[in-house]
Chain A
Amino acid sequence: MELLISILIGTLFAAGIYCLLRRTIMKVIVGIMLLSQAANLLVFTSAGLTASIPVFANSKTGTAPLGHADPIPQALVLTAIVIGFGLVIFSIALLLKAYRAVKSDDINSFNQTDRIS
């Protein structure tokens, strides 16, 4: 299972970077989304995947079941997903405003601030 997820993460990273390097704004947004999902999946998989043994403590003995899943990456990934959401929403809003100001969706026309005055 880890192997499959690893291949998926690699594909997402490759697709995300490819999209970021394209010239239209829309693909930049898609690229950011794919990359942030790839990083989230990487964090989620980092401790290995354990099927169907959550860390619910046994109510009688007070101990967690043997071989339980590591909860920390799950907690980390929840935080990262929320932050990722916020960033993606902000970048969509910003790119929309920039598109209206520049009146072009070609990234190559975003060159006003790079000119030597």
Chain B
Amino acid sequence: MILLLSAIIIPFVTALVCLGNGSRPAVSRIVGVAGAALLLVSSILLLKETLASGFIVMQAGQWAAPFGITLIVDVFSASMVCITGVVTLACAIYSLREVPEALVRKHYFALFHFLIMGVNGAFIAGDLFNLYVWFEIMLLSSFVLITMGGQRDQLEGGVKYLVINLFSSILFLSGIGLIYGKLGTLNMADIAFQLSQTEDAFLINSSAMLLLAAFGVKAAIFPFFFWLPASYHTPNVAISALFAGLLTKVGVYALIRAYTLFFHTQFDVVQDILLFLAGATMVTGVLGAAVQYEIRKILSFHIISQIGYMIMGLAIGSSLAIAGAIFYTIHHIIVKTNLFLIAGLIIHKCGTADLKKIGGLYKWAPGLSLLFFIPAFSLGGIPPLSGFWAKFTVIRAGLEGQHYLLVTVALLVGVLTLFSMTKIWAEAFWKNNELADTDPYAGKTLPLSMTAPCIALALMTVALGLFSNPLFVLAQTASDQLLDPATYIETVLNPEP
């Protein structure tokens, strides 16, 4: 239970300490990284404990569900909390050099950890209103983080990000109000229980659609994705890597939770919509990336197309498909964070992220090339890297479910993803190798605090590719648990004394 709470409390305390040390950037930096390391350790222990016991439930203030606030982790939540810990530590270490002192003085690390608190809270919330509150904590910190540099690009991107996300919060809140009006409860397990008991479950469909739109905006699925490429390339690299890794995946998590748990009785209603949205998300994302020439914009559009694969797993809905979606999510968080961090290395080395202005990195920075090669081609789905197994699982589930059209789309999008990655590769690394005789980037060395997180994440990608079985078993366990909502409901509503 203490492990469950520490997923929220460690970032909270770290944020408070950083808030008190705003005028001492060195202290702030050390505390920020130490808190992230502590969070990683505690979240690994949490995952271990959850695997042993299945669920960890806590009723806040000893008020029995459905009256109190329920905090609960199952294997899916625990894996998400665990991977959040990994990304947090990587981004915190990367921030040491990448984020300028002026921003650290403006409480960068405090906001960073408040954001992580919101993300972890969303993963362990067992109550819909509680989920809303964690979403708001996460959003408010992300609003400040994305605009704190104060440059025109950041403010413009921030406005778009702010308005559309506020609108989705309002949809979410309206959905919550309507659910309470119909069922008189907001506890996720209790909602699922009451819907399975009633014959009029179709009355909840209006709320289910409001929540689909609300979570869809957060997850950046078609047609709600346009805020993402407008804003993710503007802030500091560490911030955009953190956002790219975690924030949209909280939306995906909420969608999976919604349609496997509290609206599981309504899954048939939304299945066709989700199948369509998955295909459309994949295609628009990858085509958007094809025309871009700014590295982080290309990567932003790829987030969207990859979200499509996760939604595809959810939409197919079989045990293998949801395991595939979970595998995909975890692989994607590691790879996408890493790609953004490496884009930061390229920016640091070349001074710009515009592919037209850089080139020859293969000759002058072979280490960086190898570092980029691993996550980029994992994203493209080249065996034996982790992206191949993720795509393979989802597509195999699609074939078993006879969704041939969607599988065709997914395979084509995979090819186009590879095209985008080879575009970055050809432009940034292979172009102009022979032109310059002297290294144009000689003065720029990459500090260890920026390369180390990238190397660690790249090694994780390779490890997950070569030894994918443990992660797949984990995803399969989580998926079987998700597809058995009765046990979840029983655990929350009728705990053993």
A113 and B234 within 8 A (CB): yes
Q: Determine whether A101 belongs to the interface, using a CB cutoff of 8 Å to chain B.
A: yes
Chain B residue at minimal CB-CB distance from A28: B163
Question: In the complex, which of the residues A36, A40, A94, A117 contacts B155, with contact meaning CB atoms closer than 8 Å?
Answer: A94
Query: Of residues 161 to 220 in B, which have CB atoms within 8 Å of A's CB atoms?
Result: 162-163, 166-167, 169-170, 173-174, 176-178, 180-181, 184, 186
B159 and A95 within 8 A (CB): yes
Collect the chain A residues with CB atoms within 8 Å of residue B360's CB: none
Looking at chain A, what size class is its interface with the partner chain?
Answer: 35 or more
Collect the chain A residues with CB atoms within 8 Å of residue B162's CB: 90-91, 94
Interface size on B, residues (CB 8 A): 43
* Main DSSP-derived SS at the A contact region: helix
Chain B residue at minimal CB-CB distance from A42: B177
Question: In the complex, which of the residues A46, A91, A114 contacts B177, with contact meaning CB atoms closer than 8 Å?
Answer: A46
* Stretch in contact with the other chain, from B286-294, B312-320, B371-379, B400-408: B286-294
**When chains A and B are docked, how far (Å) is the Cα of A102 from the Cα of B160?**
14
**When chains A and B are docked, how far (Å) is the Cα of A73 from the Cα of B181?**
9
* Stretch in contact with the other chain, from B84-92, B145-153, B391-399: B145-153
Query: Of residues 27 to 86 in A, which have CB atoms within 8 Å of B's CB atoms?
Result: 28, 32, 35-36, 38-40, 42-48, 70, 72-73, 76, 79-80, 83, 86
Collect the chain B residues with CB atoms within 8 Å of residue A87's CB: 136, 140, 166, 169
A97 and B293 within 8 A (CB): no
A101 and B180 within 8 A (CB): no
B150 and A90 within 8 A (CB): no
Known interface pairs A97-B155, A110-B160, A112-B152; A43-B234 also in contact (CB < 8 Å): no
Collect the chain B residues with CB atoms within 8 Å of residue A38's CB: 170, 174
A35 and B170 within 8 A (CB): yes
Chain A residue at minimal CB-CB distance from B157: A113
Q: Determine whether B354 belongs to the interface, using a CB cutoff of 8 Å to chain A.
A: yes
Closest Cβ of chain B to A113, distance in Å, is 5
Closest Cβ of chain B to A34, distance in Å, is 10
Question: In the complex, which of the residues B153, B186, B291 contacts A116, with contact meaning CB atoms closer than 8 Å?
Answer: B291
Chain B residue at minimal CB-CB distance from A98: B155
A90 and B140 within 8 A (CB): yes
Chain B residue at minimal CB-CB distance from A48: B181
Q: Determine whether B143 belongs to the interface, using a CB cutoff of 8 Å to chain A.
A: yes
Q: Determine whether B231 belongs to the interface, using a CB cutoff of 8 Å to chain A.
A: yes
Interface centre among B143, B158, B170, B297 (most CB of A within 10 A): B170
Collect the chain B residues with CB atoms within 8 Å of residue A79's CB: 129, 133
A117 and B354 within 8 A (CB): yes
Question: In the complex, which of the residues A28, A86, A113 contacts B156, with contact meaning CB atoms closer than 8 Å?
Answer: A113
Closest Cβ of chain B to A3, distance in Å, is 14
Collect the chain A residues with CB atoms within 8 Å of residue B180's CB: 43, 46-47, 72-73, 76
16 other A-B residue contacts (CB within 8 Å) besides A43-B180, A116-B293: A28-B163, A35-B166, A38-B170, A72-B180, A73-B180, A79-B133, A90-B144, A91-B162, A91-B163, A91-B166, A94-B155, A94-B159, A101-B156, A113-B156, A116-B291, A117-B293
21 contacts between A and B (CB under 8 A): A32-B163, A39-B170, A40-B173, A43-B174, A43-B177, A45-B181, A47-B184, A70-B184, A73-B177, A76-B177, A80-B132, A87-B140, A91-B163, A94-B143, A94-B155, A94-B158, A97-B147, A98-B156, A110-B156, A113-B233, A117-B293
Top 9 nearest A-B pairs by Cβ distance? Answer: A46-B181, A43-B177, A98-B155, A46-B177, A39-B173, A42-B177, A101-B152, A46-B180, A39-B170
